[in-house]
A = this chain, B = another copy of it.
Amino acid sequence: MILASLPEGRDGALRIVAPDRATATRAGAATFRALLDGASDAAAGGPEPFDIARCGAPLPRTGQFLDGSAYVNHVELVRKARGVPMPESFWTDPLMYQGCSDPFLGPADPILTDPTWGTDFEAEVAVVTGDVPLGADIDTARAAIRFVLLLNDVSLRGLIPDELGKGFGFVHGKPPSALAPLAVAPEALPGWDGDRLNATMCIDLNGAPFGRLDAGRDMTFGFPELIAHAARTRPLAAGTVVGSGTVSNKGADGGPGRTVADGGAGYACLAEQRMVETIRDGKPSTPFLKSGDRVEIWMEDAEGRDLFGRIAQDVKARSET
């Protein structure tokens, strides 16, 4: 099953998208949230023409977004660039923060910047769960995964260090994230292995390839582990979004890898490329996002087929809006 939402009202207008994406039908549930709450996912009415370019976020708002850092390689690189060793526990105890889930931006909504914010993207895979009981084990968590999403976790690097120092997580450093148009059920994703999505995470910055990463590789914690971690002391209500954190691949030599231009897999955020530059050159040379930049994020299966549609966001100065 593939779902999308037209940008009507606060929760969008749900459509069930045909596998060829040429048509879509209404569902018994008027919104994705209603479907997650238990309303019918049966088609209601006949097929209508479907234009993916008209879609907003498939889930424009929900009760909870818990974002893990499953690609520990990314965390290790951040630490290395700061000259701080990474605790061994990070390989077994995931980092996770609660981010903004109301709203989620649509795939073509602008990213707002301020020159002091250090604006960055983070290309992530995410899942939407059904109800997950308090203290769920890994198998219960796995069974609760209902849909897979593609997400841009917009991150304000200039504001994050202060918030890390306070220890209370990110309120300023993590503004609303954007979602790609399609929410896809695991059974409609051949690369889904129950724990991870084996597919290529593609990022272009201003039309040039920035990342071509294997999302199924180097993901230390699978989604069931992230969900079980999140549910340790709270039940997760249906509609909870759990994110993978920035996708990140080690290089062939086990090191931080190379840019796409240099024959590597590249990176899924500017910060990681800047860290590699810092480790190599003593300082970063890649700038953060500025007004006029364009970020495109999509995923492809092994045959090069698009999975979720495309996030394509233009960067605008806050004062331009």
Interface range, A side: 35 or more
Contacts of A229 in B (CB 8 A): 171
- Closest B residue to A100 by beta carbon equals B234
- Chain B residues near A102: list those with CB within 8 A: 62-64, 237, 239-240
Task: Identify the stretch in A120-128, A161-169, A188-196, A264-272 within 8 Å (CB) of chain B at 4 or more residues.
Answer: A161-169
- The reply to whether the CB of A117 lies closer than 8 angstroms to some CB of chain B is yes
Copies of this protein in the assembly total 2
Residue contact B61 to A61, C-beta cutoff 8 Å:
no
Whether A232 is near chain B, meaning CB under 8 Å from some CB there, is yes
Whether the Cβ atoms of B61 and A237 lie closer than 8 Å is yes
**Is there a chain B Cβ closer than 8 Å to A273's Cβ?**
no
Q: Which residues of B contact A233 (CB under 8 A)?
A: 117, 156, 159, 171-173, 175
Chain B CB count within 10 A is highest, among A98, A156, A159, A232, for: A98
Give A56 Cβ to nearest chain B Cβ, in Å: 14
A318 within 8 A of B: yes
Task: Give the distance to chain B from A16, nearest Cβ to Cβ, in Å.
Answer: 22
**Complex: how many Å from CA A237 to CA B237?**
19
A181: interface (CB < 8 Å): no
The 8 A CB mask of A262-287 against B (1 = contact, 0 = none) is 00000000000000000000000000
Q: What's the nearest-Cβ distance from chain B to residue A239, in Å?
A: 7
Contacts of A176 in B (CB 8 A): 234-235
Partner pick for A98 among B37, B99, B117, B135, CB 8 A cutoff:
B99
A interface list, Cβ under 8 A from B = 10, 37, 61-64, 66, 95-103, 112, 117, 134-135, 156, 159, 163-173, 175-176, 229-230, 232-235, 237, 239-240, 318
